[in-house]
């Protein structure tokens, strides 16, 4: 995914949010790129579906190319699914899946590896 918002994207965002484009260009550096792109992808998908010219899978493919995001990434956005990373490691705070969180009692693989590699006399 591209790191910076392009002027064209800000223009689309200004029409969606009904905000002055010049204002968005001025505050470009504080906008969350992921959230802005999420809004743009949702809107473009909905508009294309309403138009009815293309199939949904064709629209998804076009969005994949345009925004340089995987198919599953686009589907997560347009179908409003939640990724499986909702839990956080109790030691370092890294996001982990619910499955791993439950299986390893809330500790991520990296913290477990650190514990294994730690010499026995240093364990508390």
The 10s digit of each residue's pLDDT in 23-70 is: 888 888 888 888 888 899 999 999 999 999 999 999 999 999 998 889
Residue range 94-119: mean pLDDT, rounded:
87
| Spatial separation of the C-alpha atoms in residues 30 and 90, rounded to whole Å | 30
Residue range 7-31: mean pLDDT, rounded:
86
Q: Answer yes or no: pTM beyond 0.75.
A: no
pLDDT-based confidence at residue 82 (cuts at 50, 70, 90): low
Residues 45 and 66: beta-carbon distance below 8 Å? no
């Amino acid at each position: 995914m591209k790191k910076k918002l392009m002027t064209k994207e800000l223009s689309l965002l200004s029409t969606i949010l009904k905000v002055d484009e010049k204002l968005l260009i001025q505050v470009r550096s504080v906008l969350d790129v992921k959230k802005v792109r999420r809004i743009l992808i949702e809107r473009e998908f909905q508009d294309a579906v309403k138009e009815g010219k293309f199939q949904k899978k064709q629209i998804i493919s076009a969005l994949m190319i345009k925004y340089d995001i995987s198919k599953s990434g686009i589907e997560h956005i347009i179908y409003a699914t939640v990724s499986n990373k909702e839990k956080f490691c109790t030691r370092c705070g890294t996001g982990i899946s619910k499955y791993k969180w439950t299986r390893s009692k809330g500790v991520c693989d990296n913290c477990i590896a650190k514990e294994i590699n730690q010499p026995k006399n240093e364990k508390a």
